Amino acid sequence: MLLNFLSPYKQQLKLLIPIIFINAFGLIGLYLFLPRPLFYFEYLLVLVALIIFKNYWQSFILFILIFIFDLFNIFSSLYLFQLDEFFSSLSFIKLYHFSIQQVLLALLFFAYLFLVGYILKRSHKLIQQRKKLFTQMLAVIYIIVTFFDMLSGSNKLTENFIQQDFSKKNIAASLVNDYVKTFSEVGNSKVMALKDSSMGFKAFLKDTTGNQLLIVVESWGELKDAKLQNELTSWISKKFEAKGYKLSAGDSKYYGSTTAAGLRELTNTKGEYSYYLNKRSLSTPFKSIFDTKQQQGYETFGFHPFTGRMFSRSVWWKNLGIQNLYFRDDYLFENISKVNDVNGEAHFPSVKDEKFFEYVLEKTKKSPKKFVYFLTVNSHLPYNNINKDENPAPNFDISKMEISDHAKNQLIHIKNLLAYFSQKIDAKEWNKILIVGDHIPPFSTLIDRSFYVDGKVPYLLITK
């Protein structure tokens, strides 16, 4: 009976198939934090190409190009890269260890790509025969969508199905425009001095008292719940105070990915780190903290438990004026028997942060006056380890927080690491320590992403 009722509309239903499959990828926005509109106008060009061209392959090539840009846009947004920075980072992909789940996900994307190609090929003949009807259908669909957007300015069709803030997202939007709006304030290809000085510059630039340590913690974000953030600060404060230190805490702005955090804390700039690949520190107007510290009589050190090849840190860090550089390869060369100190299960197989911090203390202990920079890595996402909270805090029980297990384990790692720093740092050796996050942990889901304040990272300033 239903088939008989639908029979007069058979061709219309068939013409709907390519429209549905072309835009099906937009449903990912119901799961990801982005939030993402259901329709991007750029995909409409694929459907229009089916009307204009006599062959389907022009439309398919157009879809592939838009789809690839869409994927890069998602990953750039998740991991806080500018799109050009993301493209350049692909050269380091061989240093990344893919999980089986990620390989299967990649295969799923390819399967979707081929399915769309098949749908376009099968639909093209009918669309060529019914150009007028197909054009009318597209016009009606997008007029209705635009009408709803004009009325509400938000995605009213999906807000009843998922608890998500669509106040700034329409049902349909431009992919290119979305990208430009997302990253217009995050970074810039041109290196620029920060209007608000970084915590690294505020804490160390004019201070010449004793040994100084700057630690940037990978993916440590500011908790949105101010009470919880204060509890974490209070808990770690007591541990440093027991060592004879005073501790002050607050938050700082971030401007993009981990490399952007390096520029922020070490040069007081934002932009692309590649600027420093071909510029010696003496020939650029943007002086690094290491330039100043050497002039103040400090010996400077830089440490990172992953390979220096990643993002060419072994090159541009040296160009910032760091006198002594140490990476994973240096650690393994000097500790041949300690290969188990490398976290091989991680996507970035690096020396464990705790073990590498011991290495930091060992390599710098003979320096009479030192400025040391340590960038951690083990809390990088995706985070797969399962951790036990080694220092339970009654008012900061991570197990009861309303986030995923994935996010809980990542936060436990950071909490354990902060406690480890407090245990190992000797007040007789270090006069001032700054511990600061690089950026928000780039979780993909709304529940985990919204647990943190967008645009802010916490810091701990530890002084005598």
Contact between 258 and 378 under an 8 Å Cβ cutoff? The reply is no
Residue 24 reports pLDDT greater than 90: no
| pLDDT at position 403 | 93
In 156-217 the beta strands, taken as DSSP E runs, fall at 172-173, 192-193, 212-217
As to burial, measured by CB atoms within 10 angstroms (0-12 exposed, 13-18 middle, 19+ buried), residue 150 is exposed
| pLDDT at position 301 | 97
Tens-place pLDDT, residues 339-352:
788 876 667 788 99
Between the alpha carbon of residue 93 and those of residues 8, 135, 147, 332, the distances in Å are: 52, 43, 43, 22
Residue 62 reports pLDDT greater than 90: yes
Residue 287 reports pLDDT greater than 50: yes
> Strands 246-253, 299-303: parallel, antiparallel or unpaired by DSSP?
unpaired
Which span out of 70-74, 102-106, 160-164, 398-402 was modeled with the highest average pLDDT?
398-402
Considering Cα of 390, then 422, then 249, then 293, what sign does the dihedral take? negative
Structure tokens at 395: 């008012």
Q: Which residue has the tokens 């006069």?
A: 431
| pLDDT at position 87 | 66
| pLDDT at position 95 | 64
If you average pLDDT over residues 4-32, what whole number do you get?
A: 72
With a pLDDT cut of 90, the percent of the chain lying above it is: 44
Residue 342 main-chain phi, psi, to 5 deg: -90, 130
| pLDDT at position 4 | 47
With a pLDDT cut of 70, the percent of the chain lying above it is: 84
Residue 254 main-chain phi, psi, to 5 deg: -120, 160
- pLDDT-derived band at 204 (thresholds 50, 70, 90) equals very high
- Chain-wide mean pLDDT for the chain? 84
| pLDDT at position 108 | 85
> Strands 456-463, 432-437: parallel, antiparallel or unpaired by DSSP?
antiparallel
Element holding 42 (H helix, E strand): helix 41-52
On the question of a cis peptide bond just before residue 305, with omega within 30 degrees of 0, the verdict is no
Closest to 355 in 3D by CA, of 378, 386, 321, 373: 378
- pLDDT-derived band at 3 (thresholds 50, 70, 90) equals very low
> Strands 192-193, 269-270: parallel, antiparallel or unpaired by DSSP?
antiparallel
CA gap 236, 435 in Å, rounded = 12
Closest to 416 in 3D by CA, of 390, 395, 394: 390
- pLDDT-derived band at 230 (thresholds 50, 70, 90) equals very high
Residue 14 reports pLDDT greater than 70: yes
Tens-place pLDDT, residues 353-394:
999 999 999 999 999 999 999 999 999 888 888 889 888 888
Structure tokens at 314: 């072994």
Helical packing angle, 41-52 and 10-23, nearest 10°: 130
| pLDDT at position 94 | 63
| pLDDT at position 192 | 85
Contact between 273 and 263 under an 8 Å Cβ cutoff? The reply is yes
Residue 5 reports pLDDT greater than 70: no
Structure tokens at 291: 């330039």
**pLDDT, greater one: 36 or 195:** 195
Q: How many other CB atoms sit within 10 Å of the CB of residue 395?
A: 11
SS3 category, 206: coil
**What DSSP designation does 26 have?**
G
Q: Which residue has the tokens 């061209």?
A: 53
Phi-psi region of 282 (alpha: psi -120 to 50; beta: other; left: phi over 0): alpha
Tens-place pLDDT, residues 431-441:
999 999 999 99
CA gap 377, 400 in Å, rounded = 26
Mean pLDDT lowest for which of 68-72, 85-89, 164-168?
164-168
Residue 36 main-chain phi, psi, to 5 deg: -115, 140
Contact between 50 and 18 under an 8 Å Cβ cutoff? The reply is yes
Contact between 301 and 359 under an 8 Å Cβ cutoff? The reply is no
Between the alpha carbon of residue 429 and those of residues 312, 361, 369, 370, 399, the distances in Å are: 31, 10, 10, 10, 35
Contact between 92 and 258 under an 8 Å Cβ cutoff? The reply is no
Q: Which residue has the tokens 């990542």?
A: 410
Tens-place pLDDT, residues 289-323:
999 999 999 999 999 999 888 888 999 999 998 99
Tens-place pLDDT, residues 153-191:
555 444 444 444 444 467 778 888 777 766 655 445 578
If you average pLDDT over residues 194-210, what whole number do you get?
A: 92
If you average pLDDT over residues 132-149, what whole number do you get?
A: 84
As to burial, measured by CB atoms within 10 angstroms (0-12 exposed, 13-18 middle, 19+ buried), residue 279 is middle
Closest to 21 in 3D by CA, of 115, 97, 89: 115
Helical packing angle, 131-152 and 41-52, nearest 10°: 170
| pLDDT at position 161 | 47
**pLDDT, greater one: 176 or 420:** 420
Q: How many other CB atoms sit within 10 Å of the CB of residue 97?
A: 12
